[in-house]
Structure 1
Amino acid sequence: MTGHHILTLSCPDRPGLTSAVTQRLFQHRGNVVEAQQFGDAETGRFFMRIVADFADEAAEGEFRQDFSGLAGTYDMEWSLRQADERRRVLILVSKFDHCLSDLLYRHRIGELPMDIVGIVSNHPAEGHELAGARNIPFHHFPITKDTKPQQEAQIRDVIEETGAELVVLARYMQILSDEMSAYLSGRCINIHHSFLPGFKGAKPYHQAHARGVKMIGATAHYVTADLDEGPIIVQDAEAITHADTPDDLVRKGRDIERRVLARAVRCHLEDRVLLNAQKTVVFGD
C-alpha cells in the first residue's frame, strides 16, 4: 500500500455523490480508511473528506486521472495529497510571543506536521531568540503607516521565496491591507483574542470586562478584507467571575488563544477545513 492519502472535495449537492466517489476509489484499488461528509441544506453544497490507501503508485495515478473527469461532471473542487506531506508555514508575530512559543513547541514534539520556513516580526526582539534556537530564518520588518505597502511587499517576497503554503498570524497585531488579504485568501489563519463576532478590534478583554461578561474566549479564523469577520475555524471559551480584573482576563485569555490557534492550524494542515461561503466545514478527528 502507498500509505494514507487525503481526498477532500466540495460541490453542489445531489444524490449519489458518496457512491460515485467510493466506487471510483474501489475501481482503482483504493481502500477507504476514514470517511466524513456533510450536506449543507442552506448553501446546497456537499463536502467530503476521505482517508484512503492505494495498492501502489500506479493505482494512485490512475485514480487521479479518472477522478479528474468525475470532478468535472459534478463540478467538484477537490484535492488529493499524501497525509504525511508536510506543509510549509510562515509565522508572523508582534509583541506577544505566547502563541508563537506554543506553535514551536507543538512542532518540536511532532504534533503539527509542518515545516516552519520563517518567522516575521514587526518588532526586533519578539521571535528572534526563539527562531535562533530552532535555526528558523527570522525577518524583522518594521512597519509604519507610511511604509505599510513596502513592508507587506517584503512579506510577500518571503512567501514566494520559501513557497509558504500557510501564513499564521500568531498575535500579529497589524491589520493586513485588502490587497494582502486577497493575496492570502484561504491560506492565512489569525487568532483573535475574543469570542467573535463580539468585541472586535482593540482591547477586547477590556471591552468584555466593561460589559461584565461571564465567559471569555478566542477565535481562529481565515483572514479576509473584512476585519475580524473571516470564516471561523475554531473557538473556545472559559468561565470568569465578577472578581476577575482585566489583567486576569488577559492572563486567562492567553491560554485560550494558544490552544485555539494550535487546533486551527492542525485542522488546516490535516485538510479538515473546507470553506463554505462565509463559514467553514470542519471535520473532527
Structure 2
Amino acid sequence: MDENVNMKLKQQSKQAENRGRLLVKCPDKPGIVSLVSTFLYNHKANIIESSQYSSDPENGTFFIRIEFQCENLIEQAVQIEKDFVEVARKHSMDYHFAFGNERKRSAIFVSKEPHCLMELLWEWQNGDLETDVVVVISNHEEARDMVESLGIPFHYIPANKDIRKQVEAEQIRLMEEYNVDLLILARYMQILTPDFVSHFPNQIINIHHSFLPAFIGARPYERAYGRGVKLIGATSHYVTNDLDEGPIIEQDIERVDHRDSVIDLKKIGSRIERRVLAKAVKWHLENRVIVEGNKTIVFH
C-alpha cells in the first residue's frame, strides 16, 4: 500500500477509536429519543450528531441515527451492547451499533469503464471513505496497473453467462478470503444470480447508468437520445434479485438538450454516475442508511 495512504488510514483509525454509532428502528411512541439519549448519557457518551424520522407520528415506525463519542470506547463497547439488549427488548427495537475501530472491508467489481472505480479510489486515497479497499475484481484487464500501483490486489476473472456459476463460486471464495463487508459494483456489467446475491444481503451497492425506472437494460444513452430526453441521471441502489429495482440510496440528474449527442450524454452521465455512487458508498459506510422494505431511510 502507498505510504501516504497508509499514514492517512492510521490517522483515521486513531481518530475513530472513541466514536460510535447507533441505528434504531422501532414502533413510534413518545420518549424514544429521551430513552436512547439517557442510555448513552449513563454510559458517559457524548452525542455529537442525531437524526430521526417517523413514518407516521400516530401509529408508525420511528427511525433514529445517533453518533456519539465515549472515552475508552473500545474497552466499553461490549458492555454497552450488552446493556442495550434489555432496552431494545422492552421497546421492540431493531438496532445496530457500529464502532469506529471496526473499519469495513470493501471489494470493488469493475468491467471496462474505469470512471467509477477511479472516483472511489480517489475518495479512498483522500480519506473520505471509511473503508479498506481490499480487492478489485474485473472481467477485463484494463484496470490492473492502476489498481496494483496502489497496492490493492487485482483479480481478473473472465465472465459470461455460460460460466456464470463457476465465476460466482470463485468470487464468493475471494469475498470470504478477503473477509469483505461491502461489494461495490463500479460499472460491473454482469448480471448477478440470486444465489450470489443471497450471500450478501444489503451488502452490494450498484450504480445504474440512466435514471431509474427509465431505460432499464442495455444501451440506455442511445435510447434516451432517441427519445429526446431533457434530463439524464444515475441511480445507486442495493442489489436484490429484481434487476435494477433494489432499495435506492441516491439519485441525481443533469439537464440536457437537442444539441447534446449520444457521446455528450455519456460524458455527462459518467460524471453523474461517479458522484452518485461515491455518495451512496460513503453514506453506507457511515451507517447513514436504514433499509425499510424496498426503500431506504438515509440520514445525510
TM-score by length of 2: 0.90
2:143 is aligned with 1:143? no
Quote the Cα distance in structure 2 between the aligned partners of 1:117 and 1:56. Answer: 28
Note the residue ranges of structure 2 that are not aligned, 5 or more in a row: 1-15
**Structure 2 matches for 1:1-285, cutoff 5 A?**
3-41=18-56, 44-57=60-73, 59-83=76-100, 85-123=102-140, 125-284=141-300
SS at match of 1:244: coil
Residues 211 and 235 in structure 2, CA contact (< 8 A), matched pair in contact too:
yes
Quote the Cα distance in structure 2 between the aligned partners of 1:190 and 1:2. Answer: 30
C-alpha deviations, 1:128-170, integer Å up to 9, x for none?
Answer: 1111101111111111222101100111001111110000000
Quote the Cα distance in structure 1 between the aligned partners of 2:48 and 2:76. Answer: 16
Aligned positions, number: 283
Residues 17 and 101 in structure 2, CA contact (< 8 A), matched pair in contact too:
no
Note the residue ranges of structure 1 that are not aligned, 5 or more in a row: none
Q: Which amino acid aligns with 2:63?
A: F
Alignment match, 2:8: none
Residues 191 and 261 in structure 1, CA contact (< 8 A), matched pair in contact too:
yes
C-alpha deviations, 1:199-240, integer Å up to 9, x for none?
Answer: 111111112111111110000000000001000001111010
CA drift of 1:2 comes to: 6.3
Residues 138 and 155 in structure 2, CA contact (< 8 A), matched pair in contact too:
yes
Residues 17 and 100 in structure 2, CA contact (< 8 A), matched pair in contact too:
no
C-alpha deviations, 1:3-23, integer Å up to 9, x for none?
Answer: 221111212323321121111
Quote the Cα distance in structure 1 between the aligned partners of 2:138 and 2:17. Answer: 40
SS at match of 2:117: helix
